[in-house]
Structure 1
Amino acid sequence: MTRRLTLLFLAALLPLLAGAGQAQAAGYRYWSFWERDGSAWTYATVGPSMSRPADGDVVGFRFSVSEDSGDAAKPRGAAGFDTICAKTPAEDGTKRVALVIDFGTPADAPSGAQPPAGRTVCAQVAQDATTAEALASVAEPLRYDSNALLCAIAGYPAKGCGEQVAAGGKESAATGAADTEEEASAQDDGGSGPSVGLIAGAAVVVVLGAAAVWQVRRRA
């Protein structure tokens, strides 16, 4: 009987542990922020509200699913300042910043959403303007959560903010697509607590352990 309980325990626990492993491999759906360095994109080290580009700089935004900055997708499309700002003459007291906005692929889009076509645009803003201010001048409406995380550019996506996504591209049950800024803030821990699979696995351990003890006492 003890052997049978052991086999039942393993049969119940292994799928749960496998599910927990898949949850750990999940990424996040969000807008990443990039700066153009010569001919290459580099992941920005500060947020757009802290970045102050100079006249002639090129910055980019890409909506995608990724685990971290190491595997984040880079903006696609033309990235040359001379091309993007060719029709925007310089003016005293302002600076020109070229923006590349990549709304991502259908695979990266939230369920039921279709990403708009990517765009390049030249923002002419005050000399002390931040990247966030430059973006707001050409791509409203923007949406942020309560932690100043950029959630939407030009209204895309319509809802959600940095939600966790399973390996197959589905939103995880733990985080889902936050419909409001308050929901996004409430999910701010990003799934750092124990997963549902691990909690359920612990419950199986308790139940089967109690059954084993009961059998030993019964036989005694």
Structure 2
Amino acid sequence: MTRRLVLLFLAAFLLIGSAGQAQAAGYRYWSFWDRDGERWVYATQGPSLTRPSDGDVQGFRFAVSEDSADAAQPRGAADFASICAKTPAEDGSKRVALVLDFGTASDAPSGERPPAPRTACAQVDPDATTADALADVAGPLRYDTDALLCAIAGYPKSGCGEQVSGRTSPTATASPGRQAEEDGADEDGGPSVGLIAGIAVVAVLAGATTWQARRRRNAGD
């Protein structure tokens, strides 16, 4: 009986611990990505410092993330030929394909709804930065005093990299289908299934411990 109680206690703590991890705090912000072949790579420099080459594809995704390893990638088409098909090459300029993903309703600030994801082809000077290309096709942009990109095409209207607690962070490989499921999920901030299960196990353990103590006491009488 003692061994069984120990195992149940361990299970309860594991359930509660996993529930706490699922509710880890994150930050609501625009992440910046470079396209490398068939995959997205988290950019190592900000858009105001990056100078893309002609033919590059870059992406932005608005989401709640704990860090770069947890950040959700841009969704949708990411092919330069299709994005810039209607923008012919010109001497003295370069073309940069941009994928703009405004995120999901679950990641949106209170009272706001994200625009639909879209792509754009910026034709800018050869020495232009990604920030220049972005301003050319997706203004107005908003930055904070530390030059952190806060809004693209006016979204969101307020806030910039603020901390968001008690949220399940999206994964870096989140697919459009999974994101749609997250949009329809309960967002009332209630306890997770793992936490409820952990509490239930603890309650059962308490009852079992009390019953065992009474049984031993009665046997001693």
Q: CA deviation at 1:168?
A: 3.2
Give the match's secondary structure for 1:154: coil
Distance 1:138 1:158 in 2: 18
1:162 paired with 2:128, answer no
Letter aligned with residue 80 of structure 1: D
- 1:120-178 deviation digits (Å, cap 9, x = unpaired): 00000000000000000000000000000000000000000000001237xxxxxxxxx
Q: CA deviation at 1:112?
A: 1.1
Q: Which residue of the partner structure matches residue 113 of structure 2? A: 114
Q: Where do residues 54-65 of structure 1 align in structure 2 (5 Å cutoff)?
A: 54-65=53-64
Asked if 1 retains the 8 angstrom alpha-carbon contact of 2:26 and 2:167, the reply is no
Aligned length: 149
TM-score, normalised on structure 2? Answer: 0.65
- 1:181-200 deviation digits (Å, cap 9, x = unpaired): xxxxxxxxxxxxxxxxxxxx
Letter aligned with residue 164 of structure 1: Q
Q: Name stretches of at least 5 consecutive residues in structure 2 with no aligned partner.
A: 1-16, 169-221
Distance 2:81 2:24 in 1: 41
- Once superposed, which parts of structure 1, at least 4 consecutive aligned residues long, lie more than 2 Å away? none
- 1:52-73 deviation digits (Å, cap 9, x = unpaired): 0000000000000000000100
Q: Which residue of the partner structure matches residue 47 of structure 2? A: 48
Give the match's secondary structure for 2:107: coil
Point out which structure has higher relative CO (alpha carbons under 8 A, 6+ apart): 2
Give the match's secondary structure for 1:71: coil
TM-score, normalised on structure 1? Answer: 0.66
State the superposition RMSD in angstroms. 1.5
Q: Which residue of the partner structure matches residue 76 of structure 1? A: 75
Q: CA deviation at 1:108?
A: 0.5
Q: Name stretches of at least 5 consecutive residues in structure 1 with no aligned partner.
A: 1-17, 170-220
Asked if 1 retains the 8 angstrom alpha-carbon contact of 2:139 and 2:152, the reply is yes
- 1:62-89 deviation digits (Å, cap 9, x = unpaired): 0000000001000000000000000000
Distance 2:26 2:162 in 1: 9
Q: Which residue of the partner structure matches residue 139 of structure 2? A: 140
Distance 2:111 2:155 in 1: 12
Distance 1:95 1:160 in 2: 32
1:85 paired with 2:111, answer no
Distance 1:113 1:121 in 2: 23
* Identity of matched residues, %: 75
